[in-house]
Structure 1
Amino acid sequence: MQLPLDPATALRPGHVPDALDAPDASWPTALAAPPAGALDLWLLRLPGPWLGAAALDEAPLDGEERARADSFTHPFDRAGYVAAHLTLRRILGAYLGVAPGAVELTREACPCCGGPHGRPVAPGAPSFSLARGDGLVLIGVAAAPVGVAAERLPTVHTVTEAARSLHPAEHHEVMAAPVVRRPAVHSRLRVRKRAYLKGLGAGLGRSPALDYVGNGGPDTPPWPTGWTIVDVPAGPASAAAAVRGELTVRYDVRRLSPEGLAA
């Protein structure tokens, strides 16, 4: 499903069809790298019953991924992690023209401290980002640095305190919303912020209070210079993507079927 390229338009709730209602895309076996000005988004919903019953081939995962998978105590959390990383390997393998198990995953140096936990990279592949949350897997692929984020809505009771970590103008937007709308407003701002920070490669190493990615209005700060941030239609969850530069070619969301992952 191709979405509007105007970020200001794409940010309006309900402006575009929900990506989870779009037809399933075929699992790709060969993909051309996205050109400058394009953003490819891959969306996979993992229903609880499917996660509980799926027998996934973990052979493509590397040692670090298997160790991380084994660190989860809840079987559904483990299955969700494995499914997300198998999906990432399938997608990157299609861009690289190699088998999923041949994709080499590593990390850049952290821009905040120089440690080996910066933005994930795969030699030869386009820039990419992986997010999972609320049974959702979201992968962003672009020629320029990209970040994606997804999460379930928080409860009304947790928003008041959680919103304090945002930029002051964003905090004001959350608290100015009707009480029943605050979880959705907070979650939307939070995933935009997380996507942007992941795109920077900083992640949690940069305070979420420093940058403004709110809905705009009189006297609000500008968005980060040189970045495009878009809301991603993802059903009841919140999701967003951030890419360096302008989107001038395409902005696609392609929904994948979980059955294709187990095939």
Structure 2
Amino acid sequence: MLTTPMLEPHAQRWLRARGNAPYGPAAHTPAQTAQALREHAPARRNPALQRPQGRDVHLWHIDLRDMGTDAVNLLDAAELARAQRFVYAHDWRRYVAAHAWLRRVLGAYLGIAPQHLRFDADAHGKPMLAHRHANGDAALRFNMSHSKDIALIAVTSGPEVGVDIEALRDDLPGPDLAAGVLSAGELDELARCAPLDHPAVFVGCWTRKEACLKALGVGLGLEPRALDVGLQAQRMTLQLGSGEPAVDLAPLPCPPGYAAALAVVGGFAGVARQDAALVWEGMS
């Protein structure tokens, strides 16, 4: 994707038209903006959300067309810098909205103002809450994925989690992509499918692999074709090797034209869909 060092002018105009605080990178650097917001924002909110219990998963469906209030003001310096590199206004909007909603959701669980959340990353770059937010309890684990104007955020109280959502495309998979992503058995399955079904079964398979890789925290450090999840959209337990933790993997309901999947290391119990309105209760 092409990048640009400054926020696009059309994105600035869109931001002002929606009533968000103006953001002028020529006047303030991302670090200066983030520091100013931290100094003037309240440190904590009253907790309103109960954390997932045991091995339950809370699943948030977010409409990225709604950025919410002061979305840009919630991001830290690194996020602001990343947002500035998008060329197209819709990519900028979706990135800002997704990360603002992630902060609102996690802040509501923790009773912390969204802009005060701090994140670390594991060895493969998977984001996690900074240790300071654990408060001696089982740490919240989360994962986010977004495609077009839909984002999914999965949250657990301890188990490592991965989630993925992808929009279907008629031009997928193509022979080269299929060979690079699918196992030998999955390639055989694909060959037996009707060509019109190829996009849906391939993208569904890919979301399950991606969710699994994200739950394990290995990213693309493990070849996707090394995971054999099959082309059937069904819940399954994936055992990668002797002594490795099992991964509970399942497709997720999603709007037409999308495929989505959830993976939890060690297994999950229930999946409870959450309402974004609960976030505003946690910030009141």
TM-score by structure 2 length?
A: 0.69
Match of 1:149 among 132, 145, 164: 164
Whether 1:39 aligns to 2:57 is: yes
Q: What corresponds to 1:183 in structure 2?
A: 199
Once the two structures are superposed, the pairs formed by residues 132-211 of structure 1 within 5 Å of their partners are: 132-142=146-156, 143-156=158-171, 158-165=173-180, 166-211=182-227
Question: Given residue 127 of structure 1, which amino acid in structure 2 is its aligned partner?
Answer: R
Count matched residues.
216
Q: Judge conservation of contact 2:190–2:231 (CA < 8 Å) in 1.
A: no
Q: Which has the higher contact order (CA 8 A, sep 6+)?
A: 1
Unaligned runs of 5+ in 1: 1-27, 111-116
Distance 1:36 1:251 in 2: 12
Q: What corresponds to 1:238 in structure 2?
A: 259
Q: What corresponds to 1:92 in structure 2?
A: 106
Question: What CA RMSD, in Å, does the superposition of the two structures yield over aligned residues?
Answer: 2.5
Structure showing greater Rg: 2
Whether 1:103 aligns to 2:96 is: no
Q: Judge conservation of contact 2:163–2:211 (CA < 8 Å) in 1.
A: yes
Q: What corresponds to 2:127 in structure 1?
A: 120
Distance 1:183 1:223 in 2: 23
Measured after TM superposition, the shift of residue 74 of structure 1 is: 0.3
Distance 1:38 1:149 in 2: 18
Whether 1:252 aligns to 2:277 is: no
Q: Secondary structure at the match of 2:72?
A: coil
Once the two structures are superposed, the pairs formed by residues 222-237 of structure 1 within 5 Å of their partners are: 223-224=238-239, 226-235=246-255, 236-237=257-258
Measured after TM superposition, the shift of residue 29 of structure 1 is: 6.2
Q: Judge conservation of contact 1:156–1:180 (CA < 8 Å) in 2.
A: no
Measured after TM superposition, the shift of residue 88 of structure 1 is: 0.4
Distance 2:119 2:154 in 1: 15
Query: Percent sequence identity over matched residues?
Result: 31
Question: Given residue 153 of structure 1, which amino acid in structure 2 is its aligned partner?
Answer: L
Unaligned runs of 5+ in 2: 1-45, 240-244
Measured after TM superposition, the shift of residue 127 of structure 1 is: 0.8
Q: What corresponds to 2:11 in structure 1?
A: none
Q: Judge conservation of contact 1:130–1:139 (CA < 8 Å) in 2.
A: yes
Distance 1:154 1:201 in 2: 27
Match of 1:76 among 74, 85, 90: 90
TM-score by structure 1 length?
A: 0.75
**Residues 1:74 and 1:56: Cα distance change in structure 2 (over 3 Å):** farther
Distance 2:148 2:188 in 1: 26
Q: Judge conservation of contact 1:192–1:239 (CA < 8 Å) in 2.
A: yes
Q: What corresponds to 1:214 in structure 2?
A: 230
Measured after TM superposition, the shift of residue 167 of structure 1 is: 1.7
Q: Judge conservation of contact 1:156–1:183 (CA < 8 Å) in 2.
A: yes
Distance 1:222 1:94 in 2: 32
Measured after TM superposition, the shift of residue 215 of structure 1 is: 4.5
Once the two structures are superposed, the pairs formed by residues 44-59 of structure 1 within 5 Å of their partners are: 44-47=62-65, 56-59=70-73
Distance 2:276 2:202 in 1: 27
**Residues 1:255 and 1:233: Cα distance change in structure 2 (over 3 Å):** farther
Q: Judge conservation of contact 2:163–2:263 (CA < 8 Å) in 1.
A: yes
Distance 1:133 1:206 in 2: 22
Q: What corresponds to 1:4 in structure 2?
A: none
Measured after TM superposition, the shift of residue 56 of structure 1 is: 4.4
Measured after TM superposition, the shift of residue 163 of structure 1 is: 1.6
Measured after TM superposition, the shift of residue 159 of structure 1 is: 3.5
Measured after TM superposition, the shift of residue 226 of structure 1 is: 1.4
Q: Judge conservation of contact 1:134–1:237 (CA < 8 Å) in 2.
A: no
Distance 1:171 1:215 in 2: 9
* Worse-superposed segment, 131-140 or 79-88: 131-140
